[in-house]
């Protein structure tokens, strides 16, 4: 997964494509490996993870819109940041509850019309939220837009991987081989990050956990 998402920042810097791809993949693997295999322990039912992801998706657009309004309407940055944090937390929680209720109706309702209606409402909410977020991305600086794109891609691939049980299939690989491949990936990422310096840390913030160590 880290190798796939690392293609995004690498393609934004074609002159350093291979080195940056390895650096971001190694940095991402350092975090994604333990996190991905721990997801199933924390959320054994993939539908719970899907509801969490859909809740964040439904809240994404409105939260971005509120953030833009707060930025333009307030001149007190600390107060604006605190207000945004509270609004964002409440928005995500409300969206998660709403999505959970819609999913429950879609799976347990005896009425076919109600089930279809719940699915339609959820789809419309997601499309509307992503539409608002997409318009917001157009107004972001290129660096911030790349962070948003990489984060969404990372979240989407993680959800798909857990849904289709890729972590369980990878779990069937003998541990010595799995640890060897993971170690080589992280090691190669560290070497490439040291060679690239600040570029490895700034090219993709979601994939720069290790690269930041070599950016000083």
Q: pLDDT tens digits for 67-107?
A: 777 767 767 666 666 777 777 778 888 888 888 888 888 87
Residue 141's alpha-carbon distances to 97, 107, 147, 202, 212, in angstroms, are 32, 41, 10, 14, 21
DSSP state of 165: T
Read off the pLDDT of residues 148-162 as tens digits, 9 standing for 90 and up: 677 777 777 777 776
Helix (H) or strand (E) holding 50: helix 46-73
pLDDT of 70: 74
Residue numbers in the chain where pLDDT is lower than 70? 34-49, 71, 74, 76-81, 134, 136-145, 147-148, 162-163, 165-168, 170-171, 201, 205-206, 209-216
Whole-number Å distance between alpha carbons of 192 and 216: 14
Q: How far is CA 116 from the centre of its chain?
A: 28
């Amino acid at each position: 997964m880290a190798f796939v998402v690392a293609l995004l920042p690498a393609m934004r810097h074609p002159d350093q494509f291979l080195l940056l791809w390895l650096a971001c993949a190694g940095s991402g693997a350092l975090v994604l490996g333990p996190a991905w295999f721990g997801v199933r322990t924390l959320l054994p039912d993939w539908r719970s993870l899907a509801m969490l992801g859909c809740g964040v998706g439904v809240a994404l657009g409105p939260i971005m819109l509120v953030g833009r309004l707060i930025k333009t309407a307030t001149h007190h940055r600390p107060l604006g940041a605190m207000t945004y944090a509270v609004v964002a937390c409440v928005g995500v929680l409300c969206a998660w509850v709403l999505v959970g209720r819609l999913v429950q109706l879609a799976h347990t309702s005896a009425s076919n019309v109600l089930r279809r209606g719940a699915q339609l409402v959820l789809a419309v909410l997601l499309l509307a939220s992503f539409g608002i977020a997409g318009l917001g991305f157009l107004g972001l600086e290129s660096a911030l837009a790349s962070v948003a794109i990489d984060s969404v891609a990372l979240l989407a691939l993680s959800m798909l991987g857990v849904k289709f049980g890729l972590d369980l299939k990878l779990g069937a690989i003998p541990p010595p081989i799995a640890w060897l491949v993971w170690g080589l990936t992280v090691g190669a990422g560290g070497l490439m990050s040291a060679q690239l310096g600040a570029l490895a840390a700034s090219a993709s913030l979601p994939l720069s956990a290790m690269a930041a160590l070599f950016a000083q």
